[in-house]
Amino acid sequence: MISLAGRDILHAWGKFVFTGLGLGLLIGVTLSMAGIYRGMVDDAEVLLDTSGADLWVVQRDTLGPHAESSSLQDDLYRGILTLPGVARAANVTYLTMQVGQGERDRRAMVVGVVPGGPGEPGQPRFLVAGRHLTRGHYEAVADLATGFQMGEQVRIRRNLYTVVGLTRRAVSSGGDPMIFIPLKDAQEAQFLKDNDAIVHQRQRTLANPQLNRPGQPGVLAAVLATQTESSAVNAILVRVTPGADVDAVAADIRRWKRLGVHTRAEMNEILQAKLIATSARQIFMFLVILSVVSAAIVAFIIYTLTLGKIREIAVLKLIGTRNRTIAAMILWQALGLGAIGFMVGKIAASLWAPVFPKYVLLLPGDAARGFAIVMLICTLASLIAIRAALRVDPAEAIGG
Amino acid sequence: MVEARIPPDHAAPGDQDHRDGPGRPGIHRAPGAGISAGAGFPAGVLGNPELPGIGATHGIRIEGLRKRFGAGDTAVDALKGVDLAVAPGEVIGLIGPSGSGKSTLLKCLGAVIEPSGGRMTLGEEVIYDEGWRIPDRRALRRDKIGFVFQAPYLIPFLDVTDNVALPLMLAGQANGLARDQARELLSALDVSHRARALPAHLSGGEQQRVAIARALANRPPVILADEPTAPLDSERALGVIRLLNQMARQYQTAVIVVTHDEKIIPTFRRLYHIRDGRTQEEVGEGRTLAG
């Protein structure tokens, strides 16, 4: 038996191809939405990978530097280093801000890390050019997505930093590319005020009789010092010794240092279930709506094509064509339309994914699932047309 | 050109005395024929051994066919006891005014709708006798009945060969064999040169030839032609009737042509006039169809 659906598609290929193109663009958007979600999850994974930590020590009762504000004294890491099972511990600060690039500025997450080699917690794990941060001030390692080149100057607050290294896929949970600078500079950048603000604050402090007491000049000096310096960090990144029980080390830190500690799994949970959960739900809603719209389009197109063939279907039935042959013809046409649409959608999504400002990760597994869902939607969408075709009376082919 | 001429020995004698009222020019009632309300054949068929259909081993005959739509007070009797017989190789005309029951009769004959009573025989096989004897009406239509419509209604996305081969393929014939047989039929109908063309690229006459070839594909004992010449001019209309006669003889198929077309009515040797749900057999001129 010849393929009636295939012949019909070949006969009206223009109609099918153009409809498939339209449907394909819709499927491309759907795949891209899924890719954006995957990209967000991957960004979260990369963020944790980049830090190179086994444990994140944060302010007690907070969820850590990426989800909530966390402030720790920068000397706490020394005590943590003394605990059994701790191999390395390093302070880190995170600050999302606008950084200057010549006349322009761009959004980035500035990460303050302890200068050192690649093994230092918080330092980027790999570089694509240059070297890691080794000096205490005014140098930076930038993610390629920031657009900075080697040797270029990055303006953060009032200071300029020279790019000495470039890395890749170092992004915040929000997708902003990272710029790594020395910890001290980052601490200063977090709390650095402009000169007028400093002068006004000093004047207010001087005018406060509680702080500016006669005969006690040391109090005023100490207060002024605390107002212009920062000894706070957002978190301490801890790497445990090989073979050490991560949970046991985390429990020791909680017990003896009275600090909040999150393991890698917990940080993952915080990032995925709390930070990007709302975005994921938003994307899921878009996926549902796009799927319904796709189904409606396929159903409408197939139904319209079927209604245009009522007389032919009546003739086919009259000359003895089985209902299942007619149903298969319509089903295959719907599946053909879905296949064309999926191919167009996959190609379109692959072409435009790199143009997106945020990372879009198109996984082969998602594509396979997408194809199965498109085929399922097309099958369901064809049911209306099949029902209409099966209700056609063969007598319609006979006049009168 | 092919000449399809009805043998004179089959033509009914022209008897002006038996003209049925105002009648149609050249149409005469067969001796003994009349409106039959009963289950028996019209006398013109059953009683006259010179007419085809008598003693035929193939072809179609119906006796006392009835069809009622609705029930109770709103019931309408579309067919009130139709008798009709067509011999193998014979082409008969079925005429009648609008609403007389032509389409209903055609749908009953085509196993599209179920009659309310009566008996239908295809060849030796009783297909309906107060109920379908062959429960699979789809298979019945596929294997034993060919259809030619007012418009060709070819499947637009199949080429000419596949349009003709489709009924064979539906019957389970292998594609290659079906196409071979289709090409033979197309050759017989003189459209083999358009075998690869799509229907949209054919002329009206060529499309109707292909439609006839499709109707003949499964070598059905009966072909039902519903106004097959309506959209055609006189020359083409006569060409189609000539072709139906030729194919009917060649393939020993009984052909029933439902028509309003005054141009072709004189070409039938036998006519059934349906009026108020009953048939009346008439003898036509059986005018020679010179090609």
Which one of A225-234, B23-32, B225-234, B257-266 scores highest in mean pLDDT?
Answer: B257-266
Within its chain, how far is the Cα of B257 from the centroid? 4
Residue pLDDT, tens place only, A129-140: 999 998 889 999
pLDDT at B50: 41
Parallel/antiparallel/unpaired status of strands A153-156 and B278-283: unpaired
Number of C-beta neighbours around residue B249 at 10 A: 17
Cβ neighbours of residue A172 under 8 Å, at least 6 residues apart? Answer: A43, A47, A66, A94, A96, A109, A178
Most A CBs within 10 A among B102, B149, B150, hence the mutation to make, goes to B149
pTM above 0.80, yes or no: no
pLDDT at B44: 35
Residue B166: list chain A partners with CB under 8 A.
2, 319
Distance CA A83, CA A238 (A): 11
pLDDT reading at B43 higher than 60:
no
User: Regarding predicted confidence, which is higher, A32 or A228?
Assistant: A32
pLDDT reading at B231 higher than 80:
no
Distance CA B233, CA A24 (A): 48
Residue B44 is classified by DSSP as I
Q: Which helix (H) or strand (E) holds B92?
A: strand B91-95
CB A398 within 8 A of CB B149: yes
User: Regarding predicted confidence, which is higher, B2 or B229?
Assistant: B229
pLDDT at B286: 67
Number of C-beta neighbours around residue A223 at 10 A: 16
Q: Which residue of B has its CA nearest to A326?
A: B170
Please answer yes or no on whether A398 and B107 come within 8 Å at the CB atom: yes
CA distance A15 to chain B (A): 13
ipTM of the complex: 0.74
Please answer yes or no on whether B155 and A400 come within 8 Å at the CB atom: no
Flag whether residue A2 sits within 8 Å of chain B, measured between CB atoms.
yes
- Average pLDDT for A185-206: 82
A97 phi/psi in degrees, rounded to 5: -160, 175
Cβ neighbours of residue A345 under 8 Å, at least 6 residues apart? Answer: A23, A24, A25, A26, A27, A28, A29, A30, A31, A370
Residue pLDDT, tens place only, B10-22: 333 333 333 333 3
pLDDT at B48: 37
User: Regarding predicted confidence, which is higher, B182 or A205?
Assistant: B182
Contact residues, A window 291-330, toward B, CB-based 8 Å cutoff: 311-312, 315-322, 325
Residue A173 is classified by DSSP as T
β-pair partners for B145: B222
pLDDT at B49: 37
Residue pLDDT, tens place only, B203-223: 888 898 899 999 989 889 999
Cβ neighbours of residue A47 under 8 Å, at least 6 residues apart? Answer: A66, A171, A172, A173, A271
Which one of A68-77, A118-127, B113-122, B226-235 scores highest in mean pLDDT?
Answer: B113-122
Report the share of chain A in percent with pLDDT over 90.
31
- Average pLDDT for B106-133: 90
DSSP string, A210-239: TTS-TT-HHHHHHHHHHHH---EESEEEEE
Two structure tokens written together for B234: 């006189």
Number of C-beta neighbours around residue B290 at 10 A: 11
A368 phi/psi in degrees, rounded to 5: -65, -45
pLDDT class of B56 with cuts at 50, 70, 90: very low
Residue pLDDT, tens place only, B245-264: 988 998 889 999 998 888 88
CA diameter of chain B:
57
Residue with tokens 């794990």: A125
- Average pLDDT for A324-346: 92
pLDDT reading at B46 higher than 60:
no
pLDDT at B67: 93
Domains of chain B plus CATH, in order, are: 34-283 (3.40.50.300)
pLDDT class of B287 with cuts at 50, 70, 90: low
Residue pLDDT, tens place only, B138-183: 889 988 899 998 888 899 999 999 999 999 999 989 999 999 999 9
pLDDT class of B28 with cuts at 50, 70, 90: very low
Residue B171: list chain A partners with CB under 8 A.
320
pLDDT reading at A272 higher than 90:
no
pLDDT at A229: 72
- The helix/strand/coil state of B100 is coil
Most B CBs within 10 A among A3, A311, A318, A326, hence the mutation to make, goes to A318
Task: Give chain B's length.
Answer: 291
- Average pLDDT for A264-269: 87
pLDDT at A45: 84
pLDDT at B250: 87
Q: Over chain A, what is the mean pLDDT?
A: 87
User: Regarding predicted confidence, which is higher, A68 or B70?
Assistant: B70
Q: Of B155, B198, B214, which is closest to A312 when you measure between CB atoms?
A: B155
Contact residues, A window 357-386, toward B, CB-based 8 Å cutoff: none
pLDDT at B289: 58
pLDDT at A389: 93
Instruction: For residue A159, count CB atoms less than 10 angstroms from its CB and return exposed for 0-12, middle for 13-18, buried for 19 or more.
Output: middle
Please answer yes or no on whether A318 and B150 come within 8 Å at the CB atom: no
pLDDT at B90: 92
pLDDT reading at B137 higher than 80:
yes
Distance CA A184, CA A35 (A): 38
pLDDT reading at B41 higher than 90:
no
Please answer yes or no on whether B170 and A400 come within 8 Å at the CB atom: no
CA distance B223 to chain A (A): 12
- Average pLDDT for B263-268: 88
Residue pLDDT, tens place only, A11-67: 888 888 888 899 899 899 989 988 988 888 888 888 888 888 899 999 888 887 877
CA distance B14 to chain A (A): 32
pLDDT at B29: 44
Two structure tokens written together for A105: 């500025």
pLDDT class of A397 with cuts at 50, 70, 90: confident
pLDDT at B26: 40
pLDDT class of A221 with cuts at 50, 70, 90: confident
